[in-house]
Amino acid sequence: MASARVSGAVVRRLPSYYRYLTTLERQGVQRISSQELGARMGLTASQIRQDINCFGTLGQQGYGYNVAELKNYIGGILGLDRSYSLIIAGAGNIGRAVAAYPGFLQSGVHVKALFDVDAALFGQSVGGAEIRPLQEMPAFIQKTRCQIGVVAVPAPEAQSVADLMVGAGIRAIWNFAPVDLAVPEAIALGNVHLTDSLLVLLYGLKEKEGD
């Protein structure tokens, strides 16, 4: 049932649903109407109903949604009912921030190792994972059947590191370098372009100031 195909725009909203529903569940809320959920999320009630209708019939007219049920259902669509291993190339600030990120715990993602070229870092540990020589990365990916590779190296190295990962059998790349990587069609690719986010913020700032 969690294999429903949903459109790209809905998929991009799913993490936000998941986040709000997790907070509601923690607060002890058991049911929520599309109006209330919409108000919290900054969406209209009809948008909420439309999105959730994509997954099948999870709410009853006049009764709202069961928070735990909807959360678990969305978690299933997102693949949170599985576990994943992840390695990080680059043990600088961004690689360390990712390794220590508390959000992994509830996502079933386990950080297995960081890799770097700086020998002074080898053997150090970040968030419970060890920093190892970059040249050991391909064998490590093969041995551990690790699915997710984080690219947190400087931009000029990013593509070659991604190529190494793909060659070793990685299935998904989470890219933090400010470049657009080329990966085979079969590989999932997610980008966190901090500069893009900053530029949209600067635009927002300019607009708010009435320029």
Contact set with its own copies (CB under 8 A):
3, 11-12, 14-16, 18-20, 77-80, 82, 84, 92-94, 96-98, 100-104, 107, 109, 147-148, 171-172, 174, 178, 180, 186-190, 192-209, 211
- Which CB sits closer to its own copies, 148 or 165? 148
Of 144, 192, 137, the C-alpha closest to 163 is: 137
Tallying the residues shown for the chain, one arrives at 211
- Which CB sits closer to its own copies, 102 or 123? 102
Report, in Å, the least distance between residue 185 CB and its own copies: 8
Report, in Å, the least distance between residue 88 CB and its own copies: 12
Q: CA–CA separation, 181 vs 157, rounded Å?
A: 11
- Which CB sits closer to its own copies, 7 or 46? 7
Burial string for 144-155 (b: 16+ CB within 10 Å, else e) reads eebbbbbbbbee
- Which CB sits closer to its own copies, 104 or 122? 104
Report, in Å, the least distance between residue 89 CB and its own copies: 15
- Which CB sits closer to its own copies, 100 or 139? 100
Report, in Å, the least distance between residue 63 CB and its own copies: 26
